[in-house]
Amino acid sequence: MTGERITSATLAAMKRRGQRIACLTCYDAAFARLLEAAGVEVVLVGDSLGMVLQGQPTTLPVKLEHMVYHTACVSRAAERALVVADMPFLSYATEARAVAAAERLMGDGGAAMVKLEGGAELADTIRRLNRFGAPVCAHLGLLPQSIHRLGGYRYQGKDDAGAARISADAQALQDAGASMLVLECVPAALAQALARALAIPVIGIGAGNGCDGQVLVLHDMLGLLPGRSPRFSRDFAASKGSVAEALADYVAQVKAGSFPGADETLF
């Protein structure tokens, strides 16, 4: 990767030009360099590290200090890609806690943006973070940090009421100043409609190929967790000779709109 560092303004311009955005999770410096070399624009230091690195059953046990450590590892190696860090479970339960967590993730961890899960109830938190210079990526649909409330890892927004709620939340979060939105496990038609309606980039995971970009968990798309990959993912390493080739194939297929395909689009 060469050129200027990617920012939220870069991503907004890509959306306006119809250029798809490639995003992957990452937790260390070595993979950060590989992702950047493959052309990944957004590197997400996800709290999914709790499951793929720590062996936890959910993301809930992940602590802020874990996220700061891994974000710092990634940000030291990522010279151009936008580094986004997940805010872990309950670290943004109040506006004051959210500001403190963002200070650690951006100040000590080197993130350029923080991500939080939830709907319109987080609008004031997003406004406050923006006021202090912390860009925010919102996250709607399946919320892994709310897995006990949701009753499992299930698609969201499949009925009219659920779709209306997600749409209203998305608009409220954009109005509050969110710079980007991740939509996880929602019907493809809903995701495409929101990508067209919103001015901010919409990144899908298990949400069809009508979004402005795609994200997957790195270990899923490299087939490193046999038997655990979600049905909307794909093992890009299965037919490639190296990790670098698998990553390049993922980026190319996201850019071309060929991933996710029909087999990875469940609703």
The residues assigned a catalytic role are: 184
Task: State the sign of the Cα–Cα–Cα–Cα dihedral 169, 173, 174, 175.
Answer: positive
The residues that bridge with 127 in the sheet, in sequence order, are: none
Rounded distance between C-alpha atoms, residue 12 and residue 10, angstroms: 5
